[in-house]
Amino acid sequence: VLDIRKLYGQADVFTYDPGFTSTASCDSTITFIDGDKGELWYRGYPIEQLAEKSNYLEVCYLLLYGELPTAEQMSDFENRVTRHTMVHEQMHNFFRGFRRDSHPMATMVGVVGAMSAFYHDSTDIGDEWQREVAAIRLIAKLPTIAAMAYKYSIGQPFVYPNNELDYASNFLNMCFSVPAEKYQIDPALSKAMDRIFTLHADHEQNASTSTVRLAGSSGANPFACIAAGIACLWGPAHGGANQACLEMLREIGNVERIPEFIERAKDKDDPFRLMGFGHRVYKNFDPRAKVMKESADEVLDLLGIHNNPTLQVAKELEKIALEDEYFVSKKLYPNVDFYSGIILEAMGFPTSMFTPIFALSRTVGWIAQWKEMISDPQNKIGRPRQLYVGSDKREYVDLNNR
């Protein structure tokens, strides 16, 4: 690692690194990735072990406070999160201001940003207690907000949180129950949902996390910073890939058309990319994708889904791409979004909910990173440099002389 400040002094020399492919913006103790080996650890614990043995709320505790909780700490944390799952009734009115057919991500960017107005008693970042309350409020309320955004988009009444349910079951209940019918939550589906949350909880300095850090570096409040992260996550090259991937599978439509799309992905004159393939850091199988693939198989078996054409295309595409010289040589493996979309589709979520689910899962990672940054004495406002390639200095010309 080359520390450019120590080598050359502060201001006069800087690196030029579009897309930050080789620039570390911070040091961090939260998440470790080895892209060549395909390893991911949260606070030192391999993701495979956490996905198998832990659960999302315990992982939230681990990411926020650095250690696995004792039984007492876990119960206290669960109580604190549970106490904050409801949103202020006034927020229901705020929701109703959106177009009824808004994309749930659009609603979430607005509503989470507006939390700074609804919960301004936890926006003072200099106050440790307020920081803590803001973190708990975000973790507790994001599932409620995501489910409300969904219900609103399909014209159904909001479902209040049920604090007797665990985190994942509560989210499923808020999304799928309707007043007239009793919704039965399948524990295996809750487990699969919880695993999706766990696998998405943090991923070091990706685009949305860096956005949260950059927003936070100016001293902005945590709700504003998380709203910025949600906005960044929405793009199809990042969190929006899960929606884009499933839409692509539907567009391919049947296995006979796969070679045509593979050829398009290889064609440099065609902007088309195989969504759900490739990763900036993993040049080996994404460890989250491995777990997600197993989970997808379990969910499909559980729901008895074997003949769904979209899923058949997904399975065949995966097989063909993993053997194709172009994808092999560029180390383009299916990423986490490829399989998460398959599970969410099977569970009955529309594609527009895929990225909101990613956003609610990643909220804890964003907060943990934000907390780490603002408690770092070395923290200063993020301010990248640029290489100016515009016009030389010139004189202004009056409108009538141009």
Task: Check: CB of residue 272 under 8 Å from CB of residue 265.
Answer: yes
Alpha helices in 200-286 (DSSP H): 207-217, 222-233, 241-252, 258-266
Q: Which is nearer to ligand ACO, 145 or 332 (by Cβ)?
A: 332
* Number of residues binding to ligand ACO, judged by CB under 6 A: 18
Selected catalytic residue, list 166, 194, 202, 337: 337
According to the binding rule CB under 6 A, does residue 276 interact with ligand ACO? yes
Question: Which residue in the set 33, 64, 91, 274 belongs to the binding site for ligand ACO (CB under 6 A)?
Answer: 274
According to the binding rule CB under 6 A, does residue 58 interact with ligand ACO? no
Buried residues in 42-79 as b, exposed as e (16+ CB within 10 A):
bbebebbebbeebbbbbbbbbbbeeeebeeeeeeebbe
Helices 336-347 and 354-374, packing angle to 10 deg: 130
Contact stretch for ligand ACO (CB under 6 A) within 1-9, 31-39, 143-151, 231-239:
231-239
> Which residue's CB comes closest to ligand ACO?
278
Instruction: Tell me if residue 238 is catalytic.
Output: no
| φ and ψ of 12, to 5 deg | -80, -30
The amino acid at 282? Y
Buried residues in 341-377 as b, exposed as e (16+ CB within 10 A):
bbbbbbbebebbbbbbbbbbbbbbbbbbbbbbbbeee
For residue 143, the 8-state DSSP code is: H
Selected catalytic residue, list 84, 166, 279, 286: 279
Q: How far is the CB of 149 from ligand ACO (least distance, A)?
A: 20
Question: Which residue in the set 237, 257, 267, 348 belongs to the binding site for ligand ACO (CB under 6 A)?
Answer: 237
According to the binding rule CB under 6 A, does residue 337 interact with ligand ACO? yes
According to the binding rule CB under 6 A, does residue 105 interact with ligand ACO? no
The amino acid at 129? W
Site string for ligand ACO, 244-273 (x = CB under 6 A): ---------------------x-------x
Sheet holding 39-42, edge to edge: 31-34, 39-42, 45-46
* DSSP-derived 3-state class of residue 102: coil
Instruction: Tell me if residue 324 is catalytic.
Output: no
Q: How far is the CB of 334 from ligand ACO (least distance, A)?
A: 9
Q: How far is the CB of 104 from ligand ACO (least distance, A)?
A: 18
According to the binding rule CB under 6 A, does residue 243 interact with ligand ACO? no
Catalytic residues: 279, 337
Q: Which residues bind ligand ACO (CB under 6 A)?
A: 237-239, 241, 265, 273-280, 330, 332, 335-337
